[in-house]
Structure 1
């Protein structure tokens, strides 16, 4: 992931995928941190909840996160604008 994308997102994202929790801290004042957690943290900018199949499809570029959200396969809590920016993470994975 490029520093440019990290700085553009500039947020703490939590992904809950089939009950497993992952932290993606791309806050510009700290080093990038991606880790698996036992539970969701109390503080985050955006939390995205989905199943494993949908997450894999988003990561592979087969479904856009926006479409997954609109179809109810992806639930979002927190700042929706930041969630839209998070789509850049998946575009980076595809490249």
Structure 2
């Protein structure tokens, strides 16, 4: 009897574990005065990339090359997030401080 109870409990635990949704991945990039911190990142499809403003100057985030186009408004504080669902390499700039303020995001 104990053997059947243990097997039933193991099955219930395994089934419950499968029912729990996976946490969505998020990668954070800081937007400081005239630099993205990090210059290059690699993420999996479905990851949300979040840019967080940390400096005192206004900046924006704009894709200039990549499998999808998106961009943020120009702001001094706050954040902007985008879930990346298309594989490829994205070139991202701050249009105010381009061409020097640039980064790449590789999505696998």
TM-score relative to the length of structure 1: 0.30
Q: Give the greater-gyration-radius structure (CA).
A: 2
Identify, as 1 or 2, the structure richer in helix. 1
TM-score relative to the length of structure 2: 0.28
